[in-house]
Amino acid sequence: MNWLSKLFNSSIGQKLLVALTGLFLCTFLIVHLSGNFQLFKNDNGMAFNLYTVFMTTNPFIKTVSYVLYASILFHAFKGIHLAIKNRSARPVAYATVDGKANSHWTSRSMGVLGTIILVFIVVHMGDFWYEYKFGHIPYIRYTQNMVTGELTSTPLVGMDGQPLTINKKMEEFVDGDNKIIIVKDLYAEVKEEFTNPLLVLIYLISMAAIGFHLFHGFQSGFQTIGVNHPKYTPILKSLSLWLFGIIIPLAFASMPLYFYFL
């Protein structure tokens, strides 16, 4: 197993791991974004809340999510470790450096951008993931008439008007013509959080950081794993700019803005 430790202690081996985890996180962003689009559905969050139940109970998704958490931690801490190591390769700094003459500022700022994203992930998971798993998210009761399709929703409260909880994430049953769904209302939590302008600002800055990070990171990951081809590299570079640098961050940013101005 000597060859394995040699590989993963070499500069290229370590870069490979950062690239592979980074590209995996890019695919996660696409999944996360497409799921979150359900926030825009005009159903008082029913689709989004059901999707949340699916994402937190499906065994396959749960397994992938543990790989995801590990990837985030590995990518972040290996990245910081390599940035420190790379800095030590030049113990005496130049008095003048004209960086903009030869490279894009994003490629020289991956550590800073990544740190902003890491802080954001902590804030973001504290806001929603932690609240959903361990906090006190109220339940909502959706009533859908199966004949007319009419949908109404009310917060789940007891006789005394206090929020009621059930000891699982959702409950579904049929009552006459009506399908009743009782589910944890993460949608309300999202709506509530994004009335806070400071939080919206933090989200917008973080989405900009993700855009700049991925504008360099996505295509750079392919270069690291050895994919550089005159036919495909230009495609990867334009995906880096348009999809990961602009479209995905803008689409994510539209969510806090939507709820803030709702």
Partner 1 sequence: MSGNMNITLKVWRQNKASDKGRFETYAIPNVSEDMSFLEMFDILNEQLIIEGKDPVAFDHDCREGICGMCSMFINGRPHGPLKGVTTCQLHMRSFKNGDTIVVEPWRAKAFPVIKDLVVDRSAFDRIIAAGGYISVNTGNAQDANSLPVAKENADHAFFAAACIGCGACVAACKNASAMLFTSAKISQLALLPQGAPERNTRALNMVAQHDAEGFGSCTNTGACEAECPKGISLSNIARMNREYLGAALMS
Work out how close the CB of 243 gets to partner 1 at its nearest, in angstroms, rounded to a whole number.
Answer: 18
Residue 144 CA, distance from chain mean position: 31
Stretch that binds partner 1, among 47-55, 57-65, 226-234, 245-253 (CB under 8 A): 226-234
Give me the sheet containing 178-184, strands edge to edge: 151-155, 139-145, 178-184, 170-175
Question: Partners of 184 in the beta sheet?
Answer: 139
- Determine whether 109 is exposed, middle or buried from the number of CB atoms within 10 Å of its CB (0-12, 13-18, 19+): middle
Check binding of 220 to partner 1 (CB under 8 A): yes
Q: 1, 60, 90, 134: which one contacts partner 1 (CB under 8 A)?
A: 90
Nearer to partner 1, 146 or 225 (CB): 225
Give whole-number Cα distances, 4 to 35, 73, 109, 219, 232, in Å.
38, 21, 30, 26, 30
Q: 28, 35, 36, 108: which one contacts partner 1 (CB under 8 A)?
A: 108
Residue matched to tokens 């602009």 = 246
Stretch that binds partner 1, among 181-189, 195-203, 225-233, 240-248 (CB under 8 A): 225-233
Terminal CA-to-CA distance of the chain, rounded, Å? 58
Stretch that binds partner 1, among 152-160, 190-198, 217-225, 246-254 (CB under 8 A): 217-225
d(CA 214, CA 192): 29
Check binding of 68 to partner 1 (CB under 8 A): no
Check binding of 89 to partner 1 (CB under 8 A): yes
Nearer to partner 1, 90 or 136 (CB): 90
Q: Which residues lie near partner 1 (CB under 8 A)?
A: 3, 6-7, 10-16, 82, 85-99, 101-104, 107-108, 110, 216, 219-220, 223-228, 233
